């Protein structure tokens, strides 16, 4: 086996794949990247058994061979090189020799056929989606997913595809985000729960790209194909909770306010809130919004006033400031609407601008009991 590759091109691809590799693996082979040479094409693969990510780059070669090389060692070495051609040659001493402009490095390899194969997605349904749409959907929902191992279905993002729209939902029981695109549709109606890790990888790769992504999925696995890359992952098994039942339908009290002003006020006031509950109080009357917090243990308190546009009865409602800040941070609009019914019912945040035709974002945050 012998091939010549650009050091910068190789590093870029391996850094992209590196996110798959866990810090502690049950199988030692999973600490490696799989290098698969087929003529002028080099396929690189990383896997943690649940998620497998492959990408292809062009190299100078005329051999066919497979070896697994240590990921951490390769990444650490490649980061230090300036852009230059690197020659990889398999030696008889069970090592791969890497020749650079001013040095040679020998790396022990493992036979490539020991590397686990990616799951086959058989009898799959297929949907094609633009990368910017998928990126926005992941970015808008992923932060709201839970971390509870006892409820694995809530630790991912729920994909709901139909012939009318695509919907993405995430919740951790305190906050919920529903992101819908009525301008993008699927050929069939289907739903599945995507785990967090592959979505984080996709989010990092898709930002700023413009290409079509083919998503194939069956009951157990999903596969994302774009450019020369393929990401295959196991889906979360289980039934997603009925999230529609949680979203209050009648919300007569509606406030419109500048997102940035509201976010900055909540940030400042929350510094003075109780460190366990992070509770802040919104008191809305007329065209004035009063945001306050107090920490009785230390006699700290804060209060700010903002102008708002409000229709409805005077209301006092409490929220966990961390959830509110997270949601406001994940919006890009200038004006938001907060819709409420009662102090013990969820508040609904929606953007009033900066949304595309057919794009609908609903963020729901559960209230907290106010200490009178």
pLDDT (tens, 9 = 90+) of the chain, 372 residues, equals 999 999 999 999 999 999 999 999 989 999 999 999 999 999 999 999 999 999 999 999 988 999 999 999 999 999 999 999 999 999 999 999 999 998 999 999 999 999 999 999 999 999 999 999 999 999 999 999 999 888 999 999 999 999 999 999 999 999 999 999 999 999 999 999 999 999 999 999 999 888 999 999 999 999 999 999 999 999 999 999 999 999 999 999 999 999 999 999 999 999 999 999 999 999 999 999 999 999 989 999 999 999 999 999 999 999 999 999 999 999 999 999 999 999 999 999 999 999 999 999 999 999 999 876
Q: What's the sign of the alpha-carbon dihedral 54, 55, 56, 59?
A: negative
- What's the pLDDT score for residue 151? 92
- What's the pLDDT score for residue 314? 96
The answer to whether the predicted template modeling score (pTM) of the entire model surpasses 0.85 is yes
The two structure tokens encoding residue 207: 């930002």
Q: Three-class SS of residue 20?
A: coil
| Count of C-beta atoms within a 10 Å radius of residue 239 | 8
Q: What's the sign of the alpha-carbon dihedral 89, 93, 94, 100?
A: negative
Domains of the chain, first to last: 2-114 (3.10.150.10), 125-244 (3.10.150.10), 247-368 (3.10.150.10)
DSSP label of 277: T
- What's the pLDDT score for residue 208? 85
What's the CA gap between 204 and 198, in Å, rounded? 10
What's the CA gap between 140 and 154, in Å, rounded? 16
How, if at all, do strands 253-258 and 309-311 pair? antiparallel
- What's the pLDDT score for residue 372? 63
- What's the pLDDT score for residue 321? 97
What's the CA gap between 203 and 111, in Å, rounded? 32
How, if at all, do strands 229-234 and 51-58 pair? antiparallel
What's the CA gap between 23 and 186, in Å, rounded? 37
């Amino acid at each position: 086996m012998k091939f010549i590759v650009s050091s910068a091109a190789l590093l870029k691809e391996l850094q992209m794949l590196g996110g798959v590799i866990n810090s502690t693996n049950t199988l030692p082979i999973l600490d490696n990247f799989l290098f698969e040479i087929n003529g002028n094409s080099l396929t690189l693969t990383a896997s943690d058994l649940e998620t497998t990510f492959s990408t292809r780059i062009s190299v100078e070669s005329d051999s066919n061979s497979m070896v697994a090389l240590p990921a951490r060692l390769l990444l650490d070495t490649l980061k230090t090189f300036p852009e230059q051609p690197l020659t990889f040659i398999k030696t008889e001493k069970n090592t791969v020799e890497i020749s650079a402009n001013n040095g040679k490095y020998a790396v022990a390899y493992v036979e490539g056929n020991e590397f686990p194969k990616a799951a086959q997605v058989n009898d799959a349904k297929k949907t094609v989606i633009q990368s910017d749409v998928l990126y926005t959907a992941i970015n808008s929902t992923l932060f709201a997913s839970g971390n509870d191992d006892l409820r694995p279905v809530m630790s991912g993002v729920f994909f709901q595809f139909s012939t009318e729209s695509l919907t993405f939902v995430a919740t951790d029981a305190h906050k919920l985000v529903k992101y819908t695109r009525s301008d993008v549709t699927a050929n069939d109606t289907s739903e599945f729960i995507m785990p967090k890790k592959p979505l984080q990888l996709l989010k990092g790769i898709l930002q700023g790209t413009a290409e079509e992504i083919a998503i194939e999925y069956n009951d157990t696995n999903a596969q994302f194909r774009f450019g020369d890359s393929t990401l295959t992952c196991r889906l979360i098994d289980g039934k997603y909770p009925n999230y529609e039942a949680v979203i209050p339908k009648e919300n007569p009290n509606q406030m419109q306010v500048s997102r940035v002003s509201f976010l900055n006020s909540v940030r400042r006031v929350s510094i003075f809130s109780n460190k366990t509950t992070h509770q802040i109080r919104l008191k809305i009357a007329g065209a004035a919004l009063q945001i306050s917090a107090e920490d009785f243990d230390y006699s700290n308190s804060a209060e700010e006033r903002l102008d708002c546009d409000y229709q409805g009865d005077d209301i006092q409602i409490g929220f966990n400031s961390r959830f509110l800040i997270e949601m406001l941070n994940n919006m890009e609009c200038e004006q938001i609407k907060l819709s409420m019914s009662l102090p013990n019912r969820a508040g609904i945040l929606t953007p009033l601008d900066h949304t595309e035709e057919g794009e609908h974002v609903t963020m729901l945050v559960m209230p907290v009991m106010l200490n009178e």
